[in-house]
């Protein structure tokens, strides 16, 4: 199972909006509404930010939103803040009943 494809880095200024893409295939991202997004700060465990494409767990800021079109899912961070600087990973359920993660995106707040 190949990793889902994410851009290596995305940057934005405070207050701006940025979008991270996550591209898979019809056997994973495109085939199921089971895409999740995780935030990981250096030296810390990942934290779930979005599940089932667009649902936010309790406690996650509404500045984070998710969507999907075809084989590509997206995470949008609006009103970018300094604390949003981190690595972000997508994941998807697959047709083999396994999970696959994305390659990861480093978000930099300029």
What Å distances lie between residue 59 and 53, 56, 105, CA to CA? Answer: 17, 8, 22
Site for other proteins in 50-109 (CB under 8 A): 50-52, 55, 57, 89, 91, 93, 96-104
Name residue, tokens 């084989």.
71
To other proteins, the closest distance from the beta carbon of 96 in angstroms equals 8
To other proteins, the closest distance from the beta carbon of 17 in angstroms equals 23
* Rounded distance between C-alpha atoms, residue 42 and residue 29, angstroms: 27
> In the complex with other proteins, which residue's Cβ is closer, 44 or 79?
44
């Amino acid at each position: 199972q190949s990793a889902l494809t994410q851009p290596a880095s995305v940057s934005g200024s405070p207050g701006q909006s940025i979008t991270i893409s996550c591209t898979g295939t019809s056997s994973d991202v495109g085939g199921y509404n089971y895409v999740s997004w995780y935030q990981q700060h250096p030296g810390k465990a990942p934290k779930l930010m979005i599940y089932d494409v667009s649902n936010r767990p309790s406690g996650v800021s509404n500045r984070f939103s998710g969507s999907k079109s075809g084989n590509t899912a997206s995470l949008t961070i609006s009103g970018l803040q300094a604390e949003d600087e981190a690595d972000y990973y997508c994941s998807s359920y697959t047709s083999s009943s396994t999970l696959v993660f994305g390659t990861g995106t480093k978000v930099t707040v300029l």
